[in-house]
Chains A and B, each alone.
Chain A
């Protein structure tokens, strides 16, 4: 019961915040709505008993990525004329609505193989075993580290003053 209430609160607030990101004219307020949406996604992870991912969501998205986005909003302050839409408004709305219809139809009509077991809690130790064990995902973790290093160096090189 508590799970259902939490889910509906997070779902409604998250969808409203996502609509705010798209429809609020002020870019800074849109960024704040995006942060609210990230927080509700972390709440949804908690209802899915993904405690580690909820903590990572708060740290990475609410903590780091939103600060980066707000920094970019502040740096480009002079050109803020709201967030106008381009000429693609109606075709984009049709594409999004059709895709939503297809997705909802497929999701509701597929017989999912729901497992009988309850999900693992807490997930931190099993997740670390999965990520760092010999038979797990250690190679993608290393590649991810290299990717992050390359992204940091690329960002520095792109924004550096000549």
Chain B
């Protein structure tokens, strides 16, 4: 059977939901960031698939995927910096114990 747009979109949805489950359930802050990267990658797959199958001559999905990568790089740099700063202050990165600002 030939591979179509639906295959890529279903794969993207599966990866996104795995990342969502991990981001909601994990307590280690680094693992949560890794799951967010997984979700961003899943979205990128669907953007590129849409671009190749629906507007193959415009490449707008590719451009959007590049901007998603830029924002993901900025996000992971600042996020890991925050995790390291929290680790230096609290000696812990368990999200259940980082509750200084919890009301």
Contacts and interface: CB of A to CB of B under 8 A. Distances in A.
Interface of A: 3-4, 7, 11, 14-15, 18-19, 21-22, 27, 30-31, 34, 37-38, 41, 44-45, 47-50, 52-53, 56-57, 60-61, 64-65, 68-69, 71-73, 75-76, 78-80, 83-86, 88-89, 92-93, 95-97, 99-100, 103-104, 107-108, 112-115, 117-120, 123, 126-127, 130-131, 137, 140, 144, 147-148, 150-152, 154-156, 158-159
Contacts of A72: 30, 33, 80, 83-84
A13 B63 CA distance: 26
13 contacts: A31-B34, A38-B41, A44-B48, A50-B65, A53-B48, A84-B26, A96-B21, A99-B16, A103-B17, A130-B60, A148-B74, A151-B77, A154-B81
Interface of B: 1-11, 13-22, 24-28, 30-31, 33-35, 37-38, 41, 44-45, 48-49, 51-60, 62-63, 65-67, 69-78, 80-85, 87, 91-96
Overall SS of chain B's interface = helix
A6 B1 CA distance: 13
A147 B71 contact: yes
Contacts of A119: 51-53, 56-57
Contacts of B24: 88, 92, 95-96
Contacts of A53: 44, 48, 62, 65-66
Contacts of B11: 11, 14-15, 44
A114 B5 contact: yes
B27 A56 contact: no
Contact of B56 (A79, A118, A137, A144): A118
